Copies of this chain bind each other. A is one copy, B any other.
Amino acid sequence: MIAADLEHLIQLLARLPGLGPRSARRAVLHLIKKRETLMLPLAESMAKAAEAIVVCSTCGNLDTRDPCGICQDPKRDRKLICVVEEVADLWALERSGAFKGTYHVLGGTLSAIDGRGPEQLHMARLVERVRGRREGEPAVEEVILALSATVDGQTTAHYIGERLADCGARLSRLAHGVPVGGELDYLDDGTLTAALKARRPA
């Protein structure tokens, strides 16, 4: 007989991706042990974020303000838009620190199997950002398609290419190749083939 309050907490935690009933139980016992230093701050931080976080109406990023910090930042290059599937991909690119333009979060890929068409994604908003130049905004010069190297990701990239044809902006995609630090022996054939085709002078 587990106390109802704990049982309820376990059931909610078990719904997080990456946690199941067993790890949720372990997590709850850990939380109870660290009541003051982890459990209460976590509950508070979660309630606060649930209240404060909004979706940026321009790019789809998550932030406490709309437009988001990146869209508002005068140092970011508005002539560059990097199209990603999810906010997680935006975060990954931000961690790399290699991109100084703006983003556009699609909210997924086109998918025949899951029945996701262009109207389920933030596609119209992207086309509008690229084609419909707003007052005081510079024209978009390049759209970088940072989509997954999967069938759905590539279908989506192709579709965006068609929608943005003759829009005046260059379209590009991320390079395929050997991951930095990766061992050739563990790479799949597709990546190896792509890396070989795209070989560069040493």
- What is the interface of chain A, defined by CB distance below 8 A to chain B? 1-6, 8-9, 12-13, 15-19, 23, 25-32, 34-35, 38-50, 52-53, 62-64, 68-70, 73, 86-88, 91, 94
What is the total number of copies of this protein in its complex? 2
Given contacts A18-B19, A31-B16, contact A50 B39 (CB under 8 A): yes
Specify the main secondary structure of chain A where it touches its partner. helix
Given contacts A25-B88, A45-B8, A47-B40, contact A32 B62 (CB under 8 A): yes
B47 touches A3 (CB 8 A): no
Q: Within the complex, which residue of B35, B40, B46, B63 is in contact with A3, where a contact is CB–CB below 8 Å?
A: B63
Q: Closest Cβ of chain B: how far from A82's Cβ, in Å?
A: 14
Report Cα–Cα, A6/B49, bound state, in Å: 7
B35 touches A50 (CB 8 A): yes
A46 touches B88 (CB 8 A): no
The 4 nearest A-B residue pairs measured at CB: A43-B46, A43-B47, A18-B23, A39-B50
Report Cα–Cα, A23/B16, bound state, in Å: 9
